[in-house]
A and B are shown apart, each in its own frame.
Chain A
Amino acid sequence: MDAETPVASPPRRPRVVVDEPARVDRVFDAVTFWSGFSVLVLLSIVGLFLLTSSGDSLGQTGLWTFLTRVEWRTDVQPARIGVLGLLVGTVVVAVIAVVLAVPVGVLAALFITDYSSARLRRVLIGLVDLLAAIPSLLFGVWGFVLLSNQMVPVSRWISDHFGWIPFLATEPNRDLTGSMFIAGVVVGIMVLPIITSVAREVFSQAPPGEKEAALALGSTRWGMIRTVVLPYGKGGIVGGTMLALGRALGETIAVALLLPQVPLVSKNILEYGGATVSGFIATHSGGDPFTVSGLMAAGLVLFIITLGTNMMASVVVSRSRSGVGVEL
């Protein structure tokens, strides 16, 4: 900068100006600072506590063993606990949920932004928000009592027709309720509003000028969406998907109701069986300190995974062209 300043006027130093804050402002600064800071401290405490109290079980089991062992038995001496069986279930359920929900959610978002009238749009936005506000418990009981039975023929049909795909096969005469597939469907419906609202948000920000330009060039509506809206909203779709994945990974109550919560690594997602980290924690309350420490460790692993997913979501969204103003 100094190089650009002409020689005639030597660089000047700014004057130091102090504005003594008023007393109210000093109180204001202190109060807001301490509330912000205490939130930070609070979370640090939660994180540290999770770490230290996981220490007991992790120390005894060993981190690597804990991460790679499938079974969870505290009735034997020494206890054999591991998180792999839970993690596999968590990831499988979340992936099924997201795979099912993303196409529907994105299309529904398109319907809201580009196919519905202004009035219908407002109603639909409200309904999607409402769907997001419904507690996961209600989705859980709905899935547990209604969907679970309704889905059995579906599962059977899929396994009959697509059984040649390894993970869709079922053994004859196996119970098809309480499967990871059904849990995935329920969680998928639960995360549907997340994907829909994030995608809607970015689609609605697609530049109207470019949209009109596409239509003016004689493109059909779908052509316009394919060339303008979808490329523009790509970041939002990916970000919304990651966000939904994060939510699906942490979902507790629905999977606690739907899955038997017995840790295992199964490749038959249509069959009875499966466990997820959060569901497993929810169904194993009131244990001894060692169990709780183990559950803490499992919770910590889950927390780290959801944190990573969420952070990736926000990075993806903020890097994309459409994501600048989008709140996750």
Chain B
Amino acid sequence: MAGAAGTALCLNWLVFGRLGDGQGWFALLVSTYLTFLACFFIATADRYGRLVATDRTITVVVVSAGGVVLAALASLVIFILVLGLKALRPGFFTSDQTGITPLLPSTEGGGSHAVVGTLEQTALSLVLSLPLSLGAAVFLNESRSRWRRPVRIFVDAMSGLPSIVCGLFIFAVFIQPHAKDAAIFGFNGLMASLSLSLIMIPTITRTVEVVLRLVPDGLREASLALGASRARTVWSVVFPTARTGMTTAIVLGIARCVGETAPLIYTAFGYDLMNANPFNGSQEALPLFVFRNVQKPDQTAIERGFAGALVLMVIVLALFALARYLGRDRTRRAAPSRRWRPRAPRPTQEVRP
């Protein structure tokens, strides 16, 4: 097997020396890979027959596909880490872009205004959307209303709303016609939170609903059979059982919200200085900070943008890790056995179309 692989590799060197006609690394990679596969197939077929060779070759292909996914992830993380660390200094969290000119090194100035904006906007949108989405999720799963179907269809439809349209919608409804009348309808953090809520509501509703659905019906029956009202059942039995799953769902919803850029362009607008008041005046947010800076022509701005990207990535990773931690299967650590046990449900990663 190793011999076959070795032969294949040797052959590759010969072949790609002729095929790779100086067109960059990608061409080399593709031709190497293909010839490697061919050689591997021939070598294995010679020894074990075609059936086994097909099987083994496919194994190689499948493993390399897994490798591609990992490579993409690793490349992204390392790239942002390397470029971000270049400009990221503790000062990033204490200063804004006051007095920054393109000539100053990228380690000067910071993104504290962006961090504050992101925190405020995310918190506000969470406050705005959480009660509604929890209520809607409970409605979809625990009631017997005839309106469940239409609500479900609309929630599903809403989760397909392109995020940029959410921002544009808020802009057209509030900011454009009313900005002259009141600052609260100008470009500000609140408007950003409203548009983020439009994204968050369907996301959280859907994931929480999935989690609630995983709570075994037997528990609801047991509670009702003890003389509980339906409200009590949901509050004292369903919610505690689904608690880990629900927190995971909500944390992942926050993670999504933190990284959203598109809706902010039309609502928070972006600002280079600290504005801690989300109700008045345009405000920065981390994604906007990154988006605006990497597009600037000067190298230092791009580096600052990457410092922001690194902070954003760390926040998202931290939220993701938190979600994993909260959603970990606590029951698994109890004595392993095959007895029936209602597991605290865990949502799978919700994918927002």
With A133-B349, A141-B306, A146-B79 known as contacts, the answer to whether A32 contacts B259 (CB < 8 A) is: no
A116 to chain B, nearest CB (A): 7
Q: Decide if B231 touches A25 in the complex (CB within 8 Å).
A: yes
**Contact A32-B65, Cβ < 8 Å, known A132-B349, A141-B306:** no
Interface residues on B, range: 35 or more
Q: Is the CB of A302 within 8 A of B162?
A: yes
- B205 (CB) vs chain A CBs: closest residue: A39
A36 touches B51 (CB 8 A): no
Q: Name the A residues within 8 Å of B344 (CB-CB).
A: none
Is A250 among interface residues, defined by CB-CB distance under 8 A? yes
Q: A44 interface residue, CB < 8 Å from B?
A: yes
Chain A, Cβ-Cβ closest to B145: A33
Contact residues in B for A201 (Cβ distance below 8 Å): 348
Chain B residues whose CB sits within 8 angstroms of the CB of A134 once the complex forms: 76, 259, 313, 316
Q: Is A135 in contact with B135, judged by CB distance below 8 angstroms? A: no
Digitize B258-287: 1 where CB-to-A-CB distance is under 8 Å, 0 elsewhere: 111110011001000000000000000001
Instruction: Assess whether A221 is interfacial by the CB under 8 Å rule.
Output: yes
Identity of the chain B residue whose Cβ is nearest the Cβ of A194 in the assembled complex:
B351
> Does B147 lie at the interface of the complex (its beta carbon under 8 Å from any beta carbon of A)?
yes
Contact of A289 among B73, B83, B176 (CB under 8 A): B176
A32, A277, A281: the one within 8 Å of B135 (CB):
A32
Residues of B within 8 A of A313 (CB): 353
Whether A292 lies near B312 (C-beta < 8 A) is no
- CB-based nearest A residue for B69: A108
Question: Which residues 205-240 of A sit at the B interface, judged by CB distance below 8 A?
Answer: 220-223, 225
Are A310 and B160 in contact (CB-based, < 8 A)? yes
By secondary structure, the A interface counts as helix
Q: Are B351 and A135 in contact (CB under 8 A)?
A: no
Q: Which of A28, A39, A225 has the most CB of B within 10 A?
A: A39
User: Chain A residues near B171 (CB, 8 Å)?
Assistant: 285, 292
B337 interface residue, CB < 8 Å from A?
no
The digit string for B156-195, where 1 denotes a CB below 8 A from any CB of A, is 1111111111001101110010000000000000000000
The chain B residue sitting closest to A280, CB to CB, is B164
Minimum distance in angstroms from A117 CB to a CB of chain B: 12
Bound Cα distance A137, B264 (Å): 12
Segment of B10-18, B97-105, B136-144 in the binding face:
B136-144
* Option from B147, B255, B295 in Cβ contact (under 8 Å) with A40: B147
| Distance (whole angstroms) from the CB of A154 to the closest CB of chain B | 4
Q: Which residues of A contact B76 (CB under 8 A)?
A: 134, 138-139, 142
B222 on the interface (CB 8 Å rule)? no
Report the bound CA distance from A223 to B139 in whole Å: 46
Q: A197-B349, A222-B54 are in contact. Are A145 and B168 (CB under 8 A)?
A: no
Task: Choose the segment among A45-53, A66-74, A164-172 that binds chain B (4+ C-beta atoms closer than 8 Å).
Answer: A45-53
Q: Write out, one digit per residue, whether chain A residues 189-213 have a CB within 8 A of any chain B CB (1) or not (0).
A: 1001110111001000000000000
- Residues A252 and B162 in contact, CB atoms below 8 Å apart: yes
Residues in chain B near residue A246, CB distance under 8 A: 160, 353
Question: Which one of A33, A112, A303 lies within 8 Å of B143 (CB-CB)?
Answer: A33
Q: Point out the residues of chain B lying under 8 angstroms from A197, CB to CB.
A: 348-349, 351
Interface residues of B in 76-95 (CB under 8 A from A): 76, 79-80, 83
Q: Are A50 and B164 within 8 A (Cβ)? A: no
CB-nearest residue of chain A relative to B267? A285
Contact pick for B172, options A38, A49, A127, CB 8 Å = A49
The answer to whether A111 and B309 have CB atoms under 8 Å apart is no
Assembled-state Cα–Cα distance A49/B350 (Å)? 28
A130 to B202, alpha carbons, bound, how many Å?
20
Evaluate contact between A137 and B261: CB separation under 8 angstroms.
yes
Q: Does B25 contact A (CB under 8 A)?
A: yes
Q: Which residues of A contact B232 (CB under 8 A)?
A: 24
Cβ–Cβ < 8 Å partners of B119 in chain A = none
Q: B201 contacts which of A27, A42, A136, A151 (Cβ < 8 Å)? A: A42
Question: Is A295 touching B316 in the complex (CB atoms < 8 A)?
Answer: no
Q: B160 to A137, Cβ gap below 8 A? A: no
Report how far A27 CA is from B1 CA in the complex, Å: 70
Decide if A250 touches B163 in the complex (CB within 8 Å).
yes
Q: Among B51, B72, B168, B350, point to the contact of A189 (Cβ < 8 A).
A: B72
| Residue of B136, B260, B312, B324 with highest tally of chain A CB at under 10 A | B136
Report if A4 contacts B (CB, 8 A).
no
B256–A133 touching, CB < 8 Å:
yes
Q: Please measure, in the bound complex, the distance between the C-alpha atom of A40 and the C-alpha atom of B171, giving whole angstroms.
A: 21
Contacts of A131 in B (CB 8 A): 69, 72-73
Q: Which residues of A contact B156 (CB under 8 A)?
A: 310, 314
Q: Which residue in A28, A156, A192, A253 is a CB contact (below 8 Å) of B262?
A: A253
Q: Give A111 to B68 CA distance when docked, in angstroms.
A: 11
A28 and B231 contacting across the interface, CB-CB below 8 Å: yes
Provide the bound-state CA to CA distance between A43 and B80, in Å.
Answer: 37
Tell me, rounded to whole Å, the shortest Cβ–Cβ distance linking A20 to chain B. 11
B83 x A153 contact (CB < 8 A): no
CB distance from B207 to the nearest CB of A (A): 9
User: B160 near A303 (CB under 8 angstroms)?
Assistant: yes
Chain A positions within 8 Å of B66 at CB level: 107-108, 111-112, 115-116, 124
CB of A103 to closest CB in B, whole Å: 8
**Which 5 A/B pairs are nearest by Cβ-Cβ distance?**
A135-B259, A35-B135, A153-B24, A107-B65, A36-B139
Chain B residues in contact with chain A, CB under 8 A?
23-27, 51-52, 54-55, 58-59, 61-63, 65-66, 68-70, 72-73, 75-76, 79-80, 83, 131-136, 138-140, 142-143, 145, 147-148, 150-151, 154-165, 168-169, 171-173, 176, 198, 201-202, 205, 210, 229-232, 234, 252, 255-256, 258-262, 265-266, 269, 287, 290-291, 294-295, 302, 305-306, 309, 312-313, 316-317, 319-320, 324, 348-353
Q: A35-B139, A133-B255 are in contact. List 11 more A-B contacts (CB 8 A).
A: A24-B232, A33-B147, A35-B131, A36-B148, A38-B136, A39-B201, A104-B65, A135-B312, A150-B25, A278-B164, A327-B210
